[in-house]
Amino acid sequence: MKTSTSERKLKIQWKTCMQLDDLHFTDHIALLSHIHQQTQMKTMSVATVSASVGFNIHKKKSNMLKYNTQNTNKHNHT
């Protein structure tokens, strides 16, 4: 994952004090993006890197959750 996002400015910062405790989820990847194009680019990059080390992403087992939020609490500063 670090390789797939290393050349992009938009990424989630993983700090050294953070660790993954539940190893059941080590093969689960969550790609978070603001726009659909970023998600597509990240997915293609992860698929390419995964294939280069012998991992395959199963399309039938993969899910995409699209969640569209809007700020409904608009503040007017005067």
- Tell how far CA 62 is from the center of its chain: 13
Q: What pTM does this model have?
A: 0.47
Alpha carbons 1 and 11: distance in angstroms, whole number? 10
If you ran DSSP here, which 8-state letter would residue 25 be given? G
User: Who has greater pLDDT, 56 or 6?
Assistant: 56
Alpha-carbon distance values, 55 to 27, 48, 50 (Å): 10, 9, 5
49 Cβ partners below 8 Å, 6+ apart?
3, 4
Tens digit of each residue's pLDDT (9 = 90 or more) over 15-72: 666 665 655 656 677 777 878 888 888 888 888 888 888 888 777 877 777 777 666 6
